[in-house]
């Protein structure tokens, strides 16, 4: 049995003809880290709300640990943990008191609570801050405490909705490591939503790319990037310059122009750059910068939608 099974899930809001979630289907294996990647408004949070029983689907089915999210909500809720996009800690309590209160709600005995609280505090490296009032925590510390609270009751599936939203780059990277350590140490199935390509690439074993309510691609980050495969050479040109001339080069596999930047797909881009620059000089095209790179999940999203994920 899979940890999560979703079949033709749809969510429509009254008065709105379009679907926030539009016939999506996927499954998540036990102990897997699965990501839903997409821009704001893609339907990621709506999908998570359905899976955590906070919203009722318009049609389709979804099961968590074998329990139907519409027919057996209590069993689903006992099987999951959630770290919401918006902070939900009690800032007047200490870190330890927040964890103790959450553990009590899930019926963990007093004896077990004490040991479990120490375990999760150690995992997120907050032992020395456990008795500090949460109002004095930094943003990163609060996020780590929310992670600890989310899995203190040994859930089978932990949902993380934009787990690093608003955090600086260094703190975000550390949270990524905590998430992977949590998966390794606890064996919990993890499902996260994100619009950060690097986050999905670094953390997730498989990624479903969402856009306008649909899952437009689903595979491992490597396999998704291999759909594009070759090197990408990006040319930033002065406004008004036309880069269509590069499309005619015989070694160019694919050509895209977006906001004054031409992106060319080719094999062995490092060897082709001198030819590209010679063509630009011949055609009187002023190149401001040249960038050679391997494909990213951003490129995969652009490939399927024709636009960048942050637009």
10 Å CB burial of residue 49 (0-12, 13-18, 19+) is buried
Residues 115-167 have pLDDT tens digits of 999 999 998 899 999 999 999 999 889 999 999 999 899 999 999 998 888 88
- What is the C-alpha separation between 161 and 106, in angstroms, rounded? 21
- What is the C-alpha separation between 33 and 182, in angstroms, rounded? 11
| CATH code at 230-293 | 3.30.70.980
**Whole-number Cα distances in Å, 285 to 14, 23, 60, 282:** 52, 46, 53, 8
Residues 7-34 have pLDDT tens digits of 999 999 876 667 899 999 999 999 999 9
- What is the C-alpha separation between 1 and 124, in angstroms, rounded? 30
Q: Are strands 157-161 and 80-83 parallel, antiparallel or unpaired?
A: parallel
Domain with CATH 3.40.50.300 in the chain: 4-225
Q: Are strands 189-194 and 231-237 parallel, antiparallel or unpaired?
A: unpaired
Residues 243/235, Cβ–Cβ less than 8 Å: yes
DSSP state of 74: H
Beta-sheet strand order (sheet of 254-258): 254-258, 261-266, 231-237, 287-293
Residues 204/192, Cβ–Cβ less than 8 Å: yes
CATH 3.20.20.70 fits 4-225, yes or no: no
Q: Is residue 311 predicted with pLDDT exceeding 60?
A: no
- What is the C-alpha separation between 175 and 2, in angstroms, rounded? 26
- What is the C-alpha separation between 310 and 298, in angstroms, rounded? 9
- Per-residue pLDDT averaged across 72-92, rounded? 92
Domain with CATH 3.30.70.980 in the chain: 230-293
Confidence of residue 239 (pLDDT cuts 50, 70, 90): low
Highest mean pLDDT among 126-130, 223-227, 255-259, 278-282: 126-130
């Amino acid at each position: 049995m899979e940890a999560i099974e979703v079949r033709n899930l749809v969510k429509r809001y009254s008065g709105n003809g379009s679907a926030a979630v539009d016939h999506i289907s996927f499954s998540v294996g036990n102990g897997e880290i699965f990501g839903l990647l997409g821009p704001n408004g893609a339907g990621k949070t709506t999908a998570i709300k359905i899976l955590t029983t906070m919203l009722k689907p318009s049609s389709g089915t979804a099961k968590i640990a074998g329990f139907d999210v519409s027919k057996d909500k209590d069993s689903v809720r006992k099987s999951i943990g959630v770290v919401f996009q918006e902070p939900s800690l009690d800032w007047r309590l200490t870190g330890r008191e927040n964890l103790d209160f959450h553990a009590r709600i899930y019926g963990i005995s007093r004896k077990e609570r004490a040991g479990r609280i120490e375990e999760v505090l150690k995992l997120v490296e907050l032992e020395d801050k456990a008795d500090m009032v949460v109002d004095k925590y930094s943003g990163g510390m609060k996020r780590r405490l929310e992670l600890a609270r989310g899995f203190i009751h040994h859930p089978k599936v932990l949902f993380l909705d934009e787990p690093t939203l608003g955090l600086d780059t260094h703190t975000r990277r550390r949270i990524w490591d905590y998430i992977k350590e949590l998966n390794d140490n606890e064996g919990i199935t993890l499902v996260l939503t994100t619009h950060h390509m690097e986050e999905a690439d670094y953390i997730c074993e498989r990624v479903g790319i969402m856009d306008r309510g649909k899952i437009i691609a689903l595979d491992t980050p490597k396999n998704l990037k291999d759909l594009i495969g070759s090197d990408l050479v990006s040319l930033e040109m002065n406004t008004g310059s036309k880069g269509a001339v590069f499309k005619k080069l015989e070694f160019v596999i694919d050509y895209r122009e977006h906001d004054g930047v031409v992106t060319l797909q080719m094999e062995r881009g490092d060897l082709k750059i001198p030819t590209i620059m010679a063509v630009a000089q011949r055609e009187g095209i002023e190149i401001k910068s040249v960038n050679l790179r391997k494909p990213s999940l951003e490129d995969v999203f652009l490939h399927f939608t024709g636009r960048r994920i942050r637009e």
